[in-house]
Amino acid sequence: MWGVPSVNDLGPVIVTGISDGAVYAICALGLVLTYKTSGVFNFAHGAVAAASAYVFYQFRDRDHMPWGLAAVLALLVVGVIGGLLLERMSYALAEAPTVMRVVATVGLLVGLDSLLTAIYGASTIAFKNFLPQSPTRVGGVNIAASDFITLALAIVATVGLYLFFKRSRLGVAMQAVVDDPDLLSMQGISPVVVRRLAWTIGSCFASVSGMLLAPEIGINVSYLILLIIVAYGAAAIGLFSNLPLTFAGGIIIGVGINVLGQELSGSHSIAILSLAPNLPFLVLFAVMLFVPSRLLIEQGVRRVRRLRPMPTFKPQTVGVSMAGFALLAIIVPLVAPAYDINDYTAGLAFAVLFMSLALLTWTSGQISLCQMAFAAVGASTFGHALAAGFPWLLALLVAGLIAMPMGALVAIPAIRLSGIYLAIATFGFGILVERLFFTSFLMFGNQYAIRTPRPHLLGLNLTGDKGYYYVTLSLTALCCVLVLLVRRSRLGRLLRGLADSPTALAAHGANTTITRVFVFCISAFLAGIGGALLAGVTQSGSEATYDFSVSLAMIAVLAFCWRLPILSPFIAAFLYQVLQVYPFFRDATVLKYDGVAFGILAIGVAVWPGLGSIRSSGRAQERDQRGSPVLARSAPVHREKVLT
């Protein structure tokens, strides 16, 4: 669509790249705008774009409206109304901790993905061009009219936004609203109006990019979400705040993908061939690894309140509950239908995966959106080790150990960055691993799967469903013990301290770099074990099982299962994996919309302080008491009082 390849040179490829890059730039500008003005990084930005493409398709192709009217309606429904709804959500998240902001937007992404798939199906819908395609010859290269239009749109959007921020009072106000809306209202500017405007513009940009991308790749929610994630790379070049750099980032990435794709097309190496499409993720990860952390300023954290501490229980209560729970788990295969046992076994494997995530997120306050990448490394290593003749238990241990260096690698951005940038880095890392390595010989290979047979242990044949269930149950229990040991150790106390106040921990002499490396390694170890156990359920680890979207769904589900280190992972695993064995939840409609329910619940927990997520901390009280330093400095009366 974007260019008309003609001669054997880079001209047409660059034109195509600029046009693609313009779409990425429009999308990234919307993302940066809303983040700058609200402090909420919208992981669902791509889902908003996809929703717009579907609404456009609905009005134009199904309801047979003229494309112009259909586009305006899509812009109105998704861009304007969607933007206003997102503003409400961001307002509710204004004082939420970073992890809850991530949970809310990831919940929205999971919910919208599920909703669009439920309504329109998972297969790609072909979508005809709507912009004029007539070519114009410029400097020996044919350029389609649609390319000019797209580029013009991106330039107008960038220049308009840049001037708006630099020159207009409202633009300046938009940047101030994230830090101190009360101060803004004292200047006679409504913070509500400012926020609504920002989110409406941001969502309209996402909406436009979704509509522009649809003819190129067809209408498919997963593809659209993934393609919009390319815009993250552009936003990273703009350091998530600079609009002209973000525009340049979009163009650079668009051109880079196309030129690299052309130049490397002759290679026989899958790794080299996959470099071009993965350029945005490489750029994103490089920015997170190498750009000085002082340039990546987290927006909107000045007013953040803390998570409400979880209640503590008496040891007797915990002991009795765990014994009852263990008894229940032991009798499951004896009472459940034989065809359901594998679902329960998968549930146990997911409990280990959720434990790995809970240790990171709830115990140490680190955010990971790439747990399934660790799990995939564990599963594939497990398969390779078994194929190499390792004893089953040793292969499982190796699976966990090999995942640990990956955890240490992810800990690098965790050491440098925190909060939202760590979430973005792990998100990009998860996708990068999936796209670069899943099909390589190191992992699942070009068959997309690897054999992971079940064990014979202590002379017992445990290859049956019941036998493997008990193997998994025993190993899950060992993982529980490991987590409890970690929590009760010095490391556990340091991790809890890290979650509450890394500054205080460092100021008292703890090396928080080592703490972060340890927790990521332990979490990766657990995820590797969980991934290997999961592969044993089907006796064939398949790359589809470890899709990055599962990592996102996991954090959404874990969010509404409380924040307890052991119980919450089991509840989350039950809801995510086991619930479907019960007749009501087997219903096709229920299965279709389960992601919607997960998304709504995650958003609910994140935005609703009454559900126990957010507390007014002593720090917030202190801030309220002290008032604004700006006001205090200009108040001589106050100075006189403190001196006398």
Partner 1 sequence: MNVAMPDLTVDRVTVRFGGLVAVDDVSLHAPAGTITGLIGPNGAGKTTTFNACTGLVSASSGSVRLGEESLNHRGPATRASRGLGRTFQRMELFDSMTVKENVALGPESLFSSRHPWGQLFSPRRETRNIEERARAAMELCEIAELSRRIAGDLSTGQRRLVELARAVASPFRFLLLDEPSSGLDVHETERFGEILVAFVAETGMGILLVEHDMSLVSSVCSTIYVLDFGRLIFYGSTAETLASDVVQAAYLGSEGTGGDHAHVAGSAHA
Can you give the binding site for partner 1, defined by CB under 8 A?
306-307, 309-310, 489-491, 493-494, 496-497, 499-501, 503-512, 514-515, 518, 615, 617-619, 621-623, 625-626, 629, 632-633, 636, 639-640, 642-644
Which residue number, 337 or 509, has a Cβ lying nearer to partner 1? 509
CB of 627 to partner 1, least distance (A): 10
Which residue number, 88 or 308, has a Cβ lying nearer to partner 1? 308
CB of 504 to partner 1, least distance (A): 4
CB of 629 to partner 1, least distance (A): 5
CB of 636 to partner 1, least distance (A): 4
CB of 299 to partner 1, least distance (A): 18
CB of 518 to partner 1, least distance (A): 6
Tokens of 77: 């429904």
The closest of 33, 267, 282 to 170, measured between CA atoms, is 33
Which residue number, 128 or 488, has a Cβ lying nearer to partner 1? 488
- DSSP 3-state of 387: helix
Distances in whole angstroms, Cα of residue 586 to Cα of each of 123, 213, 332, 336, 371: 22, 35, 19, 15, 27
Provide φ and ψ at 518, rounded to 5°: -60, -50
Which residue number, 515 or 542, has a Cβ lying nearer to partner 1? 515
Which residue number, 314 or 490, has a Cβ lying nearer to partner 1? 490
Which single residue is written with the structure tokens 């009852």?
324
- DSSP 3-state of 460: strand
CB of 611 to partner 1, least distance (A): 17
451 and 386 Cβ atoms separated by less than 8 Å: yes
Element of type H or E holding 143:
strand 141-144
Which residue number, 340 or 500, has a Cβ lying nearer to partner 1? 500
Give the C-alpha separation, 296 to 413, whole Å: 12
Strands 306-307 and 614-615, sheet pairing: antiparallel
Give the C-alpha separation, 155 to 21, whole Å: 11
Which residue number, 170 or 506, has a Cβ lying nearer to partner 1? 506
Which residue number, 168 or 489, has a Cβ lying nearer to partner 1? 489
Q: Where does 127-180 have alpha helices with state H?
A: 145-167, 169-177
159 and 15 Cβ atoms separated by less than 8 Å: no
Element of type H or E holding 141:
strand 141-144
Give the C-alpha separation, 437 to 443, whole Å: 7
Measured on CA atoms in the order 53, 58, 64, 69, is the torsion positive or negative? negative
If you ran DSSP here, which 8-state letter would residue 295 be given?
Answer: G
CB of 618 to partner 1, least distance (A): 5
The closest of 491, 502, 484 to 419, measured between CA atoms, is 502
Amino acid at 507: A
- DSSP 3-state of 265: coil
Which residue number, 335 or 637, has a Cβ lying nearer to partner 1? 637
Which residue number, 62 or 633, has a Cβ lying nearer to partner 1? 633
Tokens of 335: 């009472």
Provide φ and ψ at 297, rounded to 5°: -90, 125
Which residue number, 337 or 636, has a Cβ lying nearer to partner 1? 636
Which residue number, 139 or 629, has a Cβ lying nearer to partner 1? 629
CB of 355 to partner 1, least distance (A): 19
Q: What DSSP line would sit under 98-121, residue for residue? A: HHHHHHHHHHHHHHHHHHHHHHH-
424 and 41 Cβ atoms separated by less than 8 Å: yes
The closest of 26, 328, 80 to 197, measured between CA atoms, is 80
Which residue number, 132 or 309, has a Cβ lying nearer to partner 1? 309
Which residues does 222 contact at the CB level (< 8 Å), separation at least 6?
113, 122, 549
The closest of 420, 405, 416 to 368, measured between CA atoms, is 420
CB of 512 to partner 1, least distance (A): 7
CB of 212 to partner 1, least distance (A): 38
CB of 29 to partner 1, least distance (A): 25
CB of 477 to partner 1, least distance (A): 22
